[in-house]
Amino acid sequence: MEHSWPCISDFVFDIVGRTIEPAIKSAMGTMGNKFAFDLKACTLGSKPARFTTIETHRAVQIVADGKLDNIVIKGKLEWEGNVRIMTRFGSLLIGVKRVKVSGDLVTECVGMMPRPPFFQGARVFFVNPPRVELEFRGRLARVLEVRPIKKQVMKELERQISTRFVVPNLFGIQLDPQSEIFRIVRPRPKGILQH
């Protein structure tokens, strides 16, 4: 992961610019027009995420016309990053200087096939919402560290993570253009729990 960390950083901030920033602006209502990420100044830092444990196994995914053979990779993700995330609220700069994330991350290689790219696609998700801690910088850092304000910021951050990366939500990518994308990004549930 260390060697691909700069590419992962660019990818993350592309998602921040395209989806997370608009969601935050929308959640802020009329004040959202004053908010923006300074994407050129943002980086995940030099410390890559790591997995403390990794397990792999095969799994079968039932589809309308049969089944798919998948490879499941489960790991305990831990990351304490020396990040640089800068945002602007009007003329004020607000930054994040440290992030800590931990959680159970699952990567599924979907639909094994006997030709390159060897899988129809891949999907990544957290089993439960990951634990996230932030340390702020800038003029408003002290204000953002006040418990009720920080609680609200963290609640919105956790909501954004959950709506994109926590089961039943996931990030999926199609590797084989001949495959059906919904088999990758919206697999059939194995069942429904009732209480």
Confidence of residue 57 (pLDDT cuts 50, 70, 90): very high
Report the number of distinct structural domains present in the chain.
Answer: 1
Question: 191: which residues sit within 8 A by CB, 6+ positions away?
Answer: none
* Among the listed residues 76, 135, 149, the one whose alpha carbon sits nearest the alpha carbon of residue 107: 76
The token pair that represents 174 in the structure block: 């199609």
What is the maximal distance between C-alpha atoms in the chain?
58
Confidence of residue 195 (pLDDT cuts 50, 70, 90): low
Average pLDDT for 115-144:
90
User: Does 195 map to a domain?
Assistant: no
The helix/strand/coil state of 142 is helix
User: Does 62 map to a domain?
Assistant: yes
The token pair that represents 81 in the structure block: 């990053």
- For 74-108, what is each residue's pLDDT tens digit? 999 999 999 999 888 888 888 888 899 999 999 99
Work out the percent of the chain whose per-residue pLDDT is above 90: 58
pLDDT for res 83: 92
User: Does 173 map to a domain?
Assistant: yes
| Domain hosting residue 88, numbered range | 5-185
